Amino acid sequence: MTALKKLTYLTEQDYLAFELNADMRHEYIDGQLYAMAGASERHNRISLNVGFHLRAAARGGHCGVFISDMKLKIAWQKAYYYPDVMLVCNAQDSGEYYKQLPCFIAEVLSPGTANTDRREKLLAYQKIPGLRYFLLINANKKQVEYFVRDAQDEWQTALLEADETLAIDCNLYHAVLRLGDIYEDVVFDG
């Protein structure tokens, strides 16, 4: 029988200090670290495409667009994630190393993250006050599932069709995403 090892609990403050100098990124969930794997070329292109279109609309305004290296703090579950793309339009959300109140989040699905993105992160993100849009973007085929919070604070979901536009409206910010924008210059095998 192998010897049991004691799990080490890391405080949020220790995590944030550790992450500043870490060689690789880690997500944090209630005291435990989870290493982040590198992403594929398709994953990177998709994230950049979404970030590019959001940033183009944000120029000169009060919103910030962040791609993969900005943490998202989920205070009520003591968690920090690294969303692939975040749009933050709340002036009070001014943290240097993490944000808490995005109005838009996109996660690019990969085989290693799809289950976490679809379950754990979806449930956590939908509880963020002010979050209006959440996209799950498939990196292996042209498929985007999006979630939109309506005026009654209910979540609606659909697949983004090829001829459809998704209007992103957050606190005087407006952008439009199309399936072609998201997958521009992305090459699929076969």
DSSP strand pairing (144-149 vs 155-159): antiparallel
Question: What is the C-alpha separation between 95 and 152, in angstroms, rounded?
Answer: 29
| pLDDT higher than 70, residue 152 | yes
* pLDDT, the chain, mean: 93
Tokens read off for 141? 């085929």
Closest alpha carbon to 71 in 118, 123, 18? 18
Of the two residues 183 and 35, the one the predictor is more confident about is: 183
Contacts of residue 41, defined as CB under 8 A and 6 or more positions apart, other chains included, come to none
Which residues does 154 contact at the CB level (< 8 Å), separation at least 6? none
Rounded (10°) CA dihedral 94, 30, 21, 41: -80
Percent of the chain with pLDDT over 90: 83
Residue 92, pLDDT > 80, answer: yes
**Structure pTM?**
0.93
Q: Where are the chain's structural domains?
A: 39-182
Q: What is the mean pLDDT of residues 67-78?
A: 93
98-99 and 71-74 strand pairing:
parallel
CA distance 111 to 152: 34
The CATH code of the domain at 39-182 is 3.90.1570.10
